Amino acid sequence: MPGFIVTVGDGIVIPAEKESALSVTELTGDGYQVSWRTCRKFQNDKMLLDNDRYVLLLEGVVVNNHQLVESYQAEDWKDCVWKMLSEQKDTFYKDFRGSFCGFVYDKVECRWLFFTDHIGDKQVLYARIGDGFVVGTEVLYLVETMKANGIRPTLDRDSVYMALTLGYVIEDRTLFSEIHKLPAGHYWTLSDGRLEEVQYHRFTNKPREMSVEEAVEGIDRLFREAVRLDFEKDREYGYKHWATLSGGLDSRMVVWVAHELGYWQQLNLTFSQSGYTDFKVAQKVASELRNEFMFKYLDNGNCIYALDDVTAMTGGSACFFGVSHTWSLFNKLDYSEYGIVHTGELGDVIIGSYQKSSMSYDTVPSIVDGGYSTVLAGRLKDYLFKYPYENAEMYLMYNRGFCFVGQGTLGYDHRFTENLSPFCNVDFMEFCFSIPLKYRLNHKIYFDWVLDKYPGAAAYIWTGSGRRIERIDNEVQKRSMRVLGYQVPHFSEPGFRDYLKGFILRRLGLRKKVKRPKNGQTVVIASKNDMNPVDYWYATNPELKSFMDGYWAANNALVSDPVIREDMRRLYEDSDATYDKLQALSVLSAIKLCL
């Protein structure tokens, strides 16, 4: 995968890059080595510069670079970056918008600066090697470098239980004790053998007073600008547009607004279980907008066979399945004519919220918030957060959002291109987080924006509810009634239709009423009516079941810690939930590949 690897210290060996699709540039200096491994697109956005004073590397894509060149009255983008570094020093990149990371080495002061963007989607990691350091953009880069220098990584116990419970590791952690990640909105400085971490940006959900109309206007103005910036980058390089599209609102709004702005003839890409709403809605939207449309079905769970290939990208920091379904499509495509993969990443929790009911800003985060399984949650009961979190919403945004969902973007195959979501534009995010929770909760302001500004986009079913979106009033207490001793939604409430439909289907034996098991296992619904019906696949595809069970049987002895191995056995063998099994396999794959 693309990025860089830097060694600081004498005598450290860097393994050769094996991926032929990448452009590789090597640089060696007094006590350091640099290997820049980047995809061959968007070359004018990136740079590796070396002069008498500095070595500077910028990796990724910066969508507002032309505005910055104009603002700094620079000759070109490289000149602009030098001017910004001269004026703003360690935070010269804070006004960049896009997906980026990099470093600066000051040869005079013998001082390194490593940085990542505001949401950390271009990860940067480090490990110590003797008296030196290795810093890189992929866990496997660091693992291979450590091994080449006689050091074997060791499992971090808390991180293993995060992966087995949440489905991802949080904060600055990886699965391995020796490897640490640079958090979103932070940078490292390294000099005289000391590495220091500094925060340069922090999102807050502190609200400011505004009306619903002001919120809708602000969302629309900033979202249109974010979409324009992202899609203009394709035009700058002469690439065609492509964008993911599902039955949800996030990707739909990216595609719809881009079309309104004149970015036509997109290729829209959808992947799901065949016959699911994602496919049905996406093809209708693409057809109405006169876009091209490509669909890959995920039937039978064949994407799960890529377990080790995907873990090689994630290093086990997130459950491989969150990447493999995307990877199963994007590793088969021809990228030559197309630019950035445009997505709706995190849209529903940026315009909306991770909070589902409480309007309080004082909710206290819990380590199990946002997790997939609570079977082993007790192993994390003594974990203390390293970083302060304003409240539960901000904890979830920085960890489930940036750490977990951000890992999912690896499936877009960064060997060949970049991916962006206009929802993750910093200016857009900061405005949305300033909207009062009473508007963001339950998608109220999201629905208001779509209905007011893009009623055509609201004419299609939303997979979140199985029907078209409707206006929501969070100020009004939802009404209920009692029927045969049960409290159910009042017939005047929109939710009554869903309740009635479910009641009829259960009476006909076509749907089961499911409760979360008391042992904390993930809910099991062996139905194919889902984008990723993993329980259905495991129950109906004997080849897949054989592969998963065989992988577990062949490799579980690699887990040297007897307590962790027994807990993983409980998760894989005793749980009926396929998601629990996948999380156990994900950790096992990382152990197999890295230890």
Q: Are residues 17 and 164 in the same domain?
A: yes
Domain boundary among 431, 459, 487: 459
What length is written for the chain?
A: 595
* Sign of the four-CA dihedral 145, 146, 147, 149: positive
Q: Are residues 113 and 193 in the same domain?
A: yes
Of 565, 570, 578, nearest to 587 by C-alpha is 565
User: In this predicted structure, which of 167-171, 196-200, 412-416, 578-582 has the lowest mean pLDDT?
Assistant: 412-416
What tens digit of pLDDT does each residue of 275-306 get?
A: 999 999 999 999 999 999 999 999 999 999 99
Q: Are residues 12 and 86 in the same domain?
A: yes
- Residue 354, CA atoms < 13 Å, CB-side half-sphere: 22
Report the b/e string of 154-188 with b at 16+ CB within 10 A.
ebbebbbbbbbbbbbbbbbbbbbebbbbbbbbbbb
Predicted local confidence at residue 512, as pLDDT: 42
User: How many domains, in total, are found in the chain?
Assistant: 2
Residue 102, Ramachandran bin (φ over 0: left; ψ between -120 and 50: alpha; else beta) = left
What tens digit of pLDDT does each residue of 345-385 get?
A: 999 999 999 988 777 899 999 998 888 998 999 999 999 99
Instruction: Find the mean pLDDT for residues 491-500.
Output: 62
Percent of the chain at pLDDT > 90 equals 84
Instruction: Find the mean pLDDT for residues 321-326.
Output: 93
Q: Are residues 189 and 233 in the same domain?
A: no
pTM score over 0.85: yes
Instruction: Tell me, letter by letter, the H, E, C secondary structure of 78-143.
Output: HHHHHHHHHHHHHHCCCCCCEEEEEEEEECCCCEEEEEECCCCCCCCEEEEECCEEEEECCHHHHH
The CATH number for 184's domain is 3.60.20.10
Residue linked to tokens 């380590």: 367
What are the DSSP E strand ranges found in 238-291?
A: 240-244, 267-272
Q: Give 128's strand partners.
A: 133
Strand order from edge to edge, sheet including 186-191: 47-50, 54-62, 98-106, 111-116, 186-191, 194-199
Predicted local confidence at residue 511, as pLDDT: 40
pLDDT band at 499 (very low <50, low <70, confident <90, very high): low
> Does the pLDDT value for residue 427 go beyond 60?
yes
Whether 473 maps to a domain, the answer reads no
Domain that holds residue 439: 212-459
Q: Are residues 115 and 183 in the same domain?
A: yes
Instruction: Find the mean pLDDT for residues 465-490.
Output: 75
Domain boundary among 153, 178, 199: 199
Q: Which two tokens stand for residue 561?
A: 């810690």
What tens digit of pLDDT does each residue of 50-69 get?
A: 999 999 999 999 999 999 99
Predicted local confidence at residue 492, as pLDDT: 62
Instruction: Tell me, letter by letter, the H, E, C secondary structure of 374-442.
Output: CCCHHHHCCCCCCCCCCCHHHHHHHHHHHHHHHHHHHHHCCCCCCEECHHHCHHHHHHHHHCCHHHHHH
Whether 502 maps to a domain, the answer reads no
Q: Amino acid identity of 141?
A: Y
> Does the pLDDT value for residue 518 go beyond 70?
no
Predicted local confidence at residue 513, as pLDDT: 42
Question: Across all residues in the chain, what is the average pLDDT?
Answer: 92
Q: Are residues 172 and 246 in the same domain?
A: no
Backbone angles phi, psi at 203, to 5 degrees: -75, 145
Q: Are residues 237 and 368 in the same domain?
A: yes
Whether 499 maps to a domain, the answer reads no
Of 239, 265, 282, nearest to 418 by C-alpha is 239
Whether 109 maps to a domain, the answer reads yes
Instruction: Find the mean pLDDT for residues 478-503.
Output: 64
Distances (CA, A) of 410 to 149, 318, 347, 390, 458: 27, 11, 18, 28, 30
Instruction: Find the mean pLDDT for residues 154-180.
Output: 98
CB atoms within 10 A of CB 112: 20
CA angle 223–226–227, rounded 5-degree value: 85
Distance CA(157)–CA(561), nearest Å, equals: 9
Q: Are residues 240 and 155 in the same domain?
A: no
Structural element, H or E, at residue 506: helix 495-507
Whether 540 maps to a domain, the answer reads no
> Does the pLDDT value for residue 519 go beyond 60?
no
Whether 469 maps to a domain, the answer reads no
Predicted local confidence at residue 50, as pLDDT: 97
Percent of the chain at pLDDT > 70 equals 92
> Does the pLDDT value for residue 588 go beyond 90?
yes
> Does the pLDDT value for residue 409 go beyond 80?
yes
> Does the pLDDT value for residue 467 go beyond 90?
yes
- Cβ(32)–Cβ(54) below 8 Å: no
Structural element, H or E, at residue 505: helix 495-507
pLDDT band at 494 (very low <50, low <70, confident <90, very high): low
Predicted local confidence at residue 20, as pLDDT: 86
Three-state DSSP state, 353: coil
User: In this predicted structure, which of 274-278, 317-321, 587-591 has the lowest mean pLDDT?
Assistant: 274-278
| Eight-class DSSP state of 41 | S
Q: Are residues 250 and 339 in the same domain?
A: yes
Whether 436 maps to a domain, the answer reads yes
Q: Are residues 192 and 219 in the same domain?
A: no
Q: Are residues 123 and 216 in the same domain?
A: no
Q: Are residues 155 and 17 in the same domain?
A: yes
The CATH number for 364's domain is 3.40.50.620
Domain boundary among 199, 226, 251: 199
Instruction: Find the mean pLDDT for residues 201-227.
Output: 98
Whether 160 maps to a domain, the answer reads yes
